[in-house]
Amino acid sequence: MKIEKIIFATGNEGKMREVRMILSDLGVEVLSLKEAGIEAHAEENGKTFEENAVIKASEIMRQCGEIVLADDSGLEVDALNKEPGIYSARYMGYDTSYHVKNQNLIDRLEGKKGSERSARFVCAIAAALPDGRIRTTRGTMEGEIGYEERGENGFGYDPIFYLPEYGCYSGELSLEVKNELSHRGKALRLMKEELRKLKEERQ
Ligand code: IMP
């Protein structure tokens, strides 16, 4: 099928930069909601990352009739029953600073060591096509919750996310390395392959 443009459902410029970088060799124009002139809000009332991504992408696709991509991501802490999970942005309230949220997670893991502190970032990306078809991909980045905040890079829970394989915190990674390793980067590269397959479909 012919794909000339794709809308990525985010208002976040940082995310858009990452998306454009990874999809740059697909030969498709990638627009943010703002660039496409779409004012949209979709209720994220799904129970999984995938459900939320599909809800968002489908709702906006219905409004504009173009191929729409949307993502949903968050942090799962195994010892906390995979909290905060899909509630990562809402955890302790949207207006609570990440310094407070991060310290709260550290406090809740008191007494736990090494692999008992295992956690992962998860990102699901959904593509909603005007013909009704849906594609989803998922990427994860495995690690552990550290004992303190470290690093000036990244955002959200990055300062407490320790990567044992690399001996550093996610907040200490450069943007290039983070994109290479991150849940979002992995999910996006898998989505790029899905889009490539769709592009190669005969009319
Ligand atoms: P979303 O924008 O609805 O996907 O919400 C994602 C939330 O999960 C963010 O607000 C962060 O709290 C958290 N999160 C997702 N990805 C990352 C990351 O790469 N680093 C740090 N926090 C993240």
- Encode pLDDT of 118-132 as tens digits: 999 999 999 999 999
Q: Is the CB of 52 under 6 A from ligand 1?
A: no
Share of the chain above pLDDT 90, in %: 89
* CA-based max dimension of the chain: 59
Read off the pLDDT of residues 145-168 as tens digits, 9 standing for 90 and up: 999 999 999 899 999 999 999 999
CATH of the domain at 151: 3.90.950.10
Angle at CA 24, nearest 5°, toward 39 and 67? 40
Read off the pLDDT of residues 139-148 as tens digits, 9 standing for 90 and up: 999 999 999 9
The span from the CA of 56 to the CA of 10, in Å, is: 10
User: Ligand 1 centre from 27 Cα, in Å?
Assistant: 28
Domains of the chain: total: 1
Active site residues: 72
The stretches of the chain forming alpha helices (DSSP H) are: 13-23, 49-64, 98-108, 175-181, 183-200
User: Ligand 1 centre from 164 Cα, in Å?
Assistant: 20
Nearest to 168 by CA among 176, 177, 156, 179: 177
Q: What is the residue range of 150's domain?
A: 5-200
Read off the pLDDT of residues 59-107 as tens digits, 9 standing for 90 and up: 999 999 999 999 999 999 999 999 999 999 999 999 999 999 999 999 9
Q: Is the CB of 88 under 6 A from ligand 1?
A: yes
- In the prediction, which pLDDT does 133 show? 98
User: Ligand 1 centre from 53 Cα, in Å?
Assistant: 13
Whole-model pTM: value is 0.95
